[in-house]
A and B are shown apart, each in its own frame.
Chain A
Amino acid sequence: MSKFLDWLDNRSGIRGLVKEALYEKVPGGARWRYVWGSCLTFAFFTQVVTGTLLWMSYSPSAQTAWESVYFIQYEIWGGWFLRGVHHYMAQAMIVLLVLHLMQVMIDGAYRAPRELNFWFGIALMGVTLALSLTGYLLPWDQKGFWATAVATNLIAEVPLIGPMLQKIVVGGVEYGHQTITRFFALHAGILPAALIGLVVGHIYLFRKHGIHVKEPRPKKDSYFWPDQILKDGVACLAVLLAVVILTLYFKGAPLGPPADPSNEFPARPEWYFLFLFQLLKYVPAFWGAVIIPIALGLLIFIQPFIGSSRKGHQFNIGFWWCLLAGSAGLTFLAFSEDRENLNHGAAVREAEWQAERVVEIAQEDGIPPTGAVTLLRQDRENRGRRIFAAQCSSCHRYNGHDGRGYLVEDDQSAPELAGFASVDWTTKLLNYDHYISPEYFGGTAFKEGTMAKKVLKKFDAEETKLLPQVALLLSDLAKLPYQEPLSEEKRERLMDVFYDDLACIDCHDIDSEGEGSAPDLTGYGTRKWMIDFINNPEHERFYGKKNDRMPAYGRDKKLSTEEIEIVVDWIRSTPADL
Chain B
Amino acid sequence: MSDPKAKKSLSDDSCCQDGKSRRLVIASTIGVSAACALFPFAAGLTSILDPVVRNSGSTAKVPWTRVTSVINLPDDGKPAKFEIILAEVKDAWTTYKNVPVGAVYISRKGDEVIAFNLKCPHLGCAVDYRSKTNDYFCPCHNSTFGLDGSVTDANSPSPRGLDTMHTKIEDKFVWIRFQQYRPNIAEKIPLS
Contact = CB atoms under 8 A, between A and B. Distances in A.
Whether chains A and B associate is: yes
B183 A177 contact: no
Given A62-B91, A177-B93, A557 B122 contact: no
Contact of B118 (A264, A266, A394): A264
B157 A284 contact: yes
Contact of B183 (A153, A167, A344): A153
Interface residues of A, number: 46
A404 to B, nearest CB: 12
A73 B124 CA distance: 30
Given A410-B131, A557-B69, A558-B72, A168 B139 contact: no
A285 B158 CA distance: 9
B140 A266 contact: yes
B169 to A, nearest CB: 16
A122 B157 CA distance: 30
Contacts of B49: 168
B101 to A, nearest CB: 6
Q: How large is the interface on B (under 10, 10 to 19, 20 to 34, 35 or more residues)?
A: 35 or more
Contact of A150 (B56, B72, B140): B140
Interface string B112-140: 00000010001111101011100000011
Contacts of A176: 91-92, 94
B27 interface: no
Interface stretch (A156-164, A319-327, A489-497): A156-164
Nearest to A390: B81
A341 B139 CA distance: 9
Max chain A C-beta neighbours (<10 A), residue from B69, B72, B83: B72
Contacts, number: 108
A262 interface: yes
A150 B184 CA distance: 11
Interface in A60-107: 62-63
B91 A266 contact: no
A329 interface: no
Interface string B171-191: 000000000101110000001
Interface in A146-173: 146, 149-150, 153-154, 156-157, 163-164, 167-168, 170-173
Interface in A229-277: 260-262, 264-267, 277
Interface of B: 48-49, 51-52, 54, 56, 69, 71-72, 80-81, 83-84, 91-94, 100-103, 118, 122-126, 128, 130-132, 139-142, 157, 159, 180, 182-184, 191-192
7 contacts: A153-B123, A153-B183, A167-B52, A177-B94, A262-B102, A265-B126, A267-B140
Given A153-B123, A556-B71, 4 more contacts: A171-B92, A177-B91, A177-B92, A266-B139
